[in-house]
Chain A
């Protein structure tokens, strides 16, 4: 099967029927990575299943998803992620790039990272496949600079508390049991799930980020990274 690049980059404004959630955090520079990973992993925990194994007559069995606790070093916080090194690597890569971009931007240290879940809709040649987002999570980040160790300690705790709130928010959204793609048949599974990982199966997703310029009004530097495609074989 040919691998086509997904056409549309993640929408800045959600498409119709695409649920959009926005979270905002203020963190110190060195907390950016852990905070982003905590949120992204929590979302993906809810949006990943075990690997599907299709059997005859259209039935399938599902593999098992393991989980593990992650302690943050710079934040008084811990979270649970799916036990999948591949997934963790992918997220770390994206978050690392986001962090570097934030640092290099020279602006006030504001940006946002987006996690979009989409479905692929095959089109006839010569049109490329459509990517239809169905859920978009945006994390707005504001990087603060702290003057002394005492402030940093307070920040550790405060950010930890904030992240607890974010986790609760995420879980609230997940609990709404709103639209989820239909469970696909074997031929359709790659249009709904990312089947490239060996131990878990998240819904198809892409991560991108933007750095806000110092005016905060419009985006002058937009850097899009389609991590999903980078990882595709």
Chain B
């Protein structure tokens, strides 16, 4: 009886609105947890592809995930769409932060006009969502992610599960929209107990079913896509993140662990793991990260080593799923964001010096970096061989040198190792995309992403030097005795205090002292004619080299 009052056109429209509303909801939430400022441009002329008259970018991966989770269904009573936001530390422990729920209840509003009022109210609800996503605690956490933790998202469809949020979680309602078939409700339940430095024993439980996988994100679309590029202002305002980022960022964060294992956050409870909702197996938990680590993005898969988690490999559903997924599921490789026209550039601002060198060795097409530490399981070795070892130097080295801090920590922890996706096709990123196309689906065209620099990179820099000493010599004060904190002075002949004193008063460089300087200068002058002769002999080689540069 419910549907008889609604014309079939209205019903179709309503279903479409709800579907795209769900997809846009996911985009807004995930983009709000990327760790970057989002900026889209207003356009006075309607483009026809901006649903709900709002410029909300579509990250193709995210749409893909959402569609997978929905599997052609719409939110209905008892079937809610949930976006779970969680945090994962570099130690591998994770914690659910928020669950955003898009639910439908039975309260119908028969009188309401679908194509007009419902549509506008859905638009208003999305605006509310934009506002609310910035005021829950996870927003600030997500803006600071990258060093010690990353923020991940997972989409599932079915019953809402709030048990992972800990005690005393709070709920905020974003809004509701009545429709002739039910009332749409959007809300967020968020954890308030963010005890990172909890000294309680964390449970080493296996990770949630959702797994980080790579996505094959290609850019076959011409640059005349109707979506607007995001940069409203040049400079630090970045575009939303583009095909890309949602992939395993384990690599980046793990190397920065500064917290000893005891300061970890507990993981998902066992109950959660053991009774996943039926549809969850297909959903993926993907990290939400900014562009800073685009060069890492191709390091797709995360392989949890049982040893690191203290759980026998038999208990881990993870590697099994994983191995199966490697070949069975989409062997998609993630590429970094690229300029319009699709060649992913190497990030211009590497985290550290040596990484820069490593990266410069790679050709631009190697924006698809196969960064992986030495995998320990055999099924991964074959994929390693497909890697860019010839191109980017040893993947292991790449990882080690990308994040100089805590390299030791990185190397020792097998959990940080990443295996590579199985990618047989070279330049696979340019191969045609094979996801389902809907004829009238405006979501199909991904936005073109301009190259952007993530503020995350900036933060990487600024925070990366926290290890450096701020040893300012105060000229006003005379140092009587220097007892550096945390230094032992009974073990090594050169203790920290001695070192500090010595480096404060370094000896003169030999090349700067006058006699020696004068002497070597004379020698240099003498040897000049000889050197010139040699160079003249090789002039052809030099010319050839110059040619190559032009």
Contacts and interface: CB of A to CB of B under 8 A. Distances in A.
Contact of B134 (A64, A65, A78): A78
B82 to A, nearest CB: 20
A49 B124 CA distance: 9
Contacts of A177: 121, 124, 177
Q: Which of B37, B46, B47, B116 counts the most A-chain CB atoms under 10 A from its CB? A: B46
Interface string A186-200: 000000000000111
B172 interface: yes
B362 interface: no
A23 interface: no
Contacts of B130: 45, 67, 80
Interface residues of B, dominant DSSP: mixed
Nearest to B50: A64
Given A63-B53, A71-B37, A82 B42 contact: yes
B55 A66 contact: yes
A172 B171 CA distance: 13
Interface string B372-404: 000000000000000000000000000000000
B38 A68 contact: yes
B434 interface: no
B232 A83 contact: yes
Interface in A147-203: 163-164, 167-168, 170-172, 174-175, 177, 183, 198-200
A64 B47 contact: yes
A171 B44 contact: no
B483 interface: no
B411 interface: no
A64 B173 contact: no
B54 interface: yes
Given A164-B135, A199-B44, A68 B53 contact: no
Interface string B169-181: 0001111110000
A31 interface: no
Given A46-B124, A63-B53, A171-B174, A69 B39 contact: yes
B134 A80 contact: yes
Contacts of B40: 66-68, 83
B186 to A, nearest CB: 9
Contacts, number: 125
B20 interface: no
Given A46-B124, A168-B132, A175-B176, A64 B37 contact: no
A175 B122 CA distance: 10
A223 B134 CA distance: 34
A65 B42 contact: yes
Interface residues of A, number: 38
Contacts of B128: 46, 171, 174-175
Q: Which of A64, A167, A168 counts the most B-chain CB atoms under 10 A from its CB? A: A64
A55 B43 CA distance: 18
B113 to A, nearest CB: 11
Interface string A29-68: 0000000000000100110011101000000011111111
B53 A49 contact: yes
Contacts of B237: 68
A53 B39 CA distance: 24
A63 B237 CA distance: 23
A168 B64 CA distance: 30
Contacts of A168: 132, 135, 172
B488 interface: no
A50 B37 CA distance: 22
B131 A42 contact: yes
A76 interface: yes
Interface in B174-198: 174-177
Given A66-B232, A68-B232, A53 B45 contact: yes
A51 B53 CA distance: 10
Q: Which of B43, B116, B135, B232 counts the most A-chain CB atoms under 10 A from its CB? A: B135
B129 to A, nearest CB: 9
A134 interface: no
Contacts of A171: 128, 131-132, 174-175
25 contacts: A53-B44, A61-B46, A62-B46, A63-B45, A65-B53, A65-B55, A66-B40, A67-B39, A67-B40, A67-B130, A68-B232, A69-B37, A69-B39, A76-B140, A78-B140, A78-B143, A80-B131, A83-B41, A83-B55, A167-B132, A167-B135, A171-B174, A175-B175, A175-B176, A199-B43
Interface of B: 37-47, 50, 53-55, 116, 121, 124-125, 127-128, 130-132, 134-136, 139-140, 143, 172-177, 228, 232, 237
Given A49-B53, A65-B53, A68-B37, 11 more contacts: A53-B46, A64-B50, A64-B228, A67-B54, A76-B140, A78-B134, A79-B131, A167-B131, A167-B134, A171-B128, A177-B177
Closest 10 pairs (CB-CB, A-B): A175-B175, A164-B135, A69-B37, A66-B40, A68-B39, A66-B55, A199-B42, A66-B42, A51-B44, A64-B50
